[in-house]
């Protein structure tokens, strides 16, 4: 096996660490910690035969739970309990409030949705605020989308960097990414088919189906007054849902301000959750007119007409 | 093993406490995931499945009281067994071309300058599973032919034969792969 051997040389280049998808990292860690916690709660002699090994394991397998669709869906399914909330009581439900939210979050036909979020995962003993992610979604078939998505670097506590991605929701295919100086190339990111082309459709549907509940007025840690909505799991439609998530909307415009999600999440002062959990802060959420200039914002190929696609 | 560098030694002890395990997990996960990703044709689903199986097996060992003093090499050992099991399943089905197709279809989030590595991964996936196992164990994991024979239940001569054929298969596949 000479070092001059081209086969050896080529294969040797393969030994390098690769960070897996964040969602995979998180759910596998949660699964493993649960396994360990179960073990530490038992007396040593009471440890039962390991059920976690091998392909027949009864432990939930993350990939089977549609974890492959983490990218853009993170903006609507992620959240953490870092907000210091000062809830006023009693929580009362005003008639029509949820319907007003539903209406405010229903975009006009043919619009182009534009939103910008800052996501903060809280997991593995660290809290990282990613660079702001920004997306455009054309609500006209084939539902082009384009966005600047966080690709995590430097381990789970790394800051991540933004990469421009885009595609067609209707195709179900993974997004292509733009790689400077001039290349479009396939990526592993894809829009979660459960979410649909409109990221607020899930919340609107939850309101329609009775899974969303107004919890009342509260104040976020930055002083903003908001209304809190609890969205419970619709396990028929989303069997992979782990726990209720929480939306905070502006009391005047009803637009999203923050979303918290994560297993075992308990909002409010001293909020807690069992890792991993996420905060998604909405910097912008708006409907743009469906004119060609705006539709082009959702089309990565239109933004890079001279790019070489591989 | 070439990947056992100085950096991995910073995780020195492993027990069942969540704090200790998390530190180990953060250190080991990208290594184990990359180990599988590169050896399984760049297939993200396969790499994730095998990574999950490996870590679950490691937790199983910890629950049974195992306290590895060198946890990174230890989990690489578990990973290698999972990989060989995977190769054996593939060898029984012997569908290297299907695997290669998966590698090409499975789009990955690679930087532009990763094209050459992507080509190597795809070419490796196109090599028949029995030959691929020998290539990986010899050239990537640094085992001797005799050690590989022990792992695979083959004679040293058979390993040499597989290695030679694997090299030719790899070269041919590398030249044919189009990305």
A299 pLDDT exceeds 90? Answer: yes
Q: Any CB–CB contact under 8 A between A151 and chain B?
A: yes
d(CA A235, CA B130): 43
How far CA A284 is from CA of A132, A252, B12, B125, in Å, comes to 10, 15, 46, 44
Task: Single out the residue of B155, B8, B144, B167 nearest to residue B74, CA to CA.
Answer: B8
Taking CB atoms and an 8 Å limit, are A50 and B65 in contact across chains? no
Complex ipTM value:
0.72
The mean per-residue pLDDT over the stretch A240-259 comes to: 86
The percentage of residues in chain A with a pLDDT greater than 90, rounded to a whole number, is 27
Taking CB atoms and an 8 Å limit, are B19 and A125 in contact across chains? yes
Which chain A residues are Cβ-neighbours of B136 within 8 angstroms? 11
In this predicted structure, which of A9-13, A258-262, A303-307, B31-35 has the lowest mean pLDDT?
A: A9-13
d(CA A172, CA A39): 41
In this predicted structure, which of A38-42, A47-51, A199-203, A295-299 has the lowest mean pLDDT?
A: A47-51
Token pair of B65, please? 């009281």
d(CA A197, CA A138): 8
Per-chain mean pLDDT for chain A: 73
Which chain A residues are Cβ-neighbours of B56 within 8 angstroms? 31-32, 35, 52-53, 57, 59
d(CA A192, CA A194): 5
B17 pLDDT exceeds 70? Answer: yes
From chain A residues 48-87, the ones with a CB under 8 A of any chain B CB are 50, 52-55, 57, 59, 61-63, 67-68
From chain A residues 161-220, the ones with a CB under 8 A of any chain B CB are 163, 174, 177, 179-180, 183, 185-189
Which chain B residues are Cβ-neighbours of A310 within 8 angstroms? 179
Give me the pLDDT at residue A41, please: 57
The mean per-residue pLDDT over the stretch B73-94 comes to: 82
Q: Give the highest mean pLDDT range of A4-8, A116-120, B14-18.
A: A116-120
Taking CB atoms and an 8 Å limit, are A28 and B62 in contact across chains? no
Nearest-neighbour CA in chain A from B68: distance (Å): 15
**Least CB–CB distance from A156: residue in B2, B26, B59:** B26
Taking CB atoms and an 8 Å limit, are A17 and B2 in contact across chains? no
How far CA A102 is from CA of A211, A255, B85, in Å, comes to 13, 10, 51
Per-residue pLDDT band at A70 (split at 50, 70, 90): very low
The mean per-residue pLDDT over the stretch B81-94 comes to: 78
Top pLDDT among B122 and A157 is at: B122
Q: Choose, out of A3, A5, A15, the residue to mutate when testing the contact with B (most B CBs < 10 Å).
A: A15
Per-residue pLDDT band at A307 (split at 50, 70, 90): very high
**Least CB–CB distance from A63: residue in B45, B60, B106:** B45
Q: Any CB–CB contact under 8 A between B60 and chain A?
A: yes
Top pLDDT among B41 and B28 is at: B28
Give me the pLDDT at residue A124, please: 53
Nearest-neighbour CA in chain B from A172: distance (Å): 13
Q: Any CB–CB contact under 8 A between B142 and chain A?
A: no
* Contact pairs from chain A to chain B, CB under 8 Å: 157
A298 pLDDT exceeds 90? Answer: yes
Top pLDDT among A58 and A275 is at: A275
Give me the pLDDT at residue A40, please: 62
DSSP symbols for A140-163: STTTEEEEEEEE--SSTTS--EEE
**Least CB–CB distance from B33: residue in A13, A20, A54:** A20
Give me the pLDDT at residue B101, please: 32
d(CA A32, CA B71): 16
Q: Any CB–CB contact under 8 A between A20 and chain B?
A: yes
Which chain B residues are Cβ-neighbours of A63 within 8 angstroms? 45, 48-49, 52
Q: Any CB–CB contact under 8 A between A154 and chain B?
A: no
d(CA B140, CA B72): 16
**Least CB–CB distance from B53: residue in A21, A35, A55:** A55
Taking CB atoms and an 8 Å limit, are B109 and A61 in contact across chains? no
Domains, in order of start, for chain A:
65-309 (2.50.20.20)
């Amino acid at each position: 096996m000479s070092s001059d051997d081209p086969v050896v040389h080529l294969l040797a280049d393969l030994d390098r660490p690769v960070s897996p998808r964040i969602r995979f990292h998180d759910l596998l860690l949660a699964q493993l910690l649960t396994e360990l916690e179960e073990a530490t709660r038992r007396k040593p002699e009471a440890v039962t035969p390991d059920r976690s090994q091998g392909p027949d394991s009864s432990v939930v397998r993350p990939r089977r739970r549609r974890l492959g669709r983490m990218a853009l869906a993170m903006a609507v399914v992620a959240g953490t309990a870092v907000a210091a909330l000062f809830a006023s009581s009693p929580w009362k439900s005003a008639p029509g409030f949820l319907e007003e939210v539903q209406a405010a979050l229903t975009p006009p036909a043919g619009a182009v949705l534009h939103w910008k979020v800052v996501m903060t995962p809280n997991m593995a003993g660290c809290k990282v605020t990613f660079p702001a992610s920004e997306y455009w979604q054309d609500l006209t078939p084939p539902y082009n989308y384009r966005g600047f998505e966080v690709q995590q670097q430097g381990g789970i506590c790394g800051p991540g960097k933004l990469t421009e991605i885009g595609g067609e929701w209707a195709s179900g295919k993974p997004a292509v990414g733009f790689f400077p100086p001039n290349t479009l190339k396939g990526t592993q990111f894809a829009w979660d088919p459960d979410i649909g082309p409109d990221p607020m459709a899930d919340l609107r549907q939850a309101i329609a189906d009775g899974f969303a509940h107004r919890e009342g007025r509260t104040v976020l840690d930055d002083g903003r007054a908001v209304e809190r909505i609890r969205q419970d799991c619709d396990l028929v439609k989303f069997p992979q849902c782990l726990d209720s998530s929480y939306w905070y909307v502006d009391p005047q415009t009803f637009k999203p301000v923050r979303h918290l999600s994560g297993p075992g999440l308990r909002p409010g002062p001293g909020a807690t959750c069992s890792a991993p959990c996420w905060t998604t802060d909405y910097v912008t959420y708006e409907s743009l007119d469906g004119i060609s200039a705006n539709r082009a914002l959702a089309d990565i190929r239109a933004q890079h007409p001279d790019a070489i696609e591989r | 093993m070439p990947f056992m560098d100085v950096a991995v030694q910073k995780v020195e002890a492993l027990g069942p406490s969540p704090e200790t395990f998390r530190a180990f997990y953060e250190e080991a996960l990208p290594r184990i995931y990359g180990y599988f990703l590169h050896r399984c044709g760049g297939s993200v689903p396969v790499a994730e499945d095998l990574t999950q199986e490996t870590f679950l097996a490691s937790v199983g060992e910890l629950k049974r009281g195992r306290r590895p003093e060198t946890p990174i090499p230890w989990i690489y050992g578990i990973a290698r067994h999972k990989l060989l099991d995977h190769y054996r399943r593939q060898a029984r089905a012997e569908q290297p071309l299907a695997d290669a197709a998966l590698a090409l279809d499975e789009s990955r989030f690679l930087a532009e300058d990763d094209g050459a590595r992507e080509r190597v991964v795809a070419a490796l996936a196109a090599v028949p599973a029995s030959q691929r196992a020998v290539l990986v164990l010899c050239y990537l994991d640094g085992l001797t032919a005799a050690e590989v024979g022990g792992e695979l239940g083959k004679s040293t001569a058979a390993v040499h034969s597989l290695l030679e054929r694997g090299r030719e298969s790899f070269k041919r596949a590398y030249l044919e792969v189009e990305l």
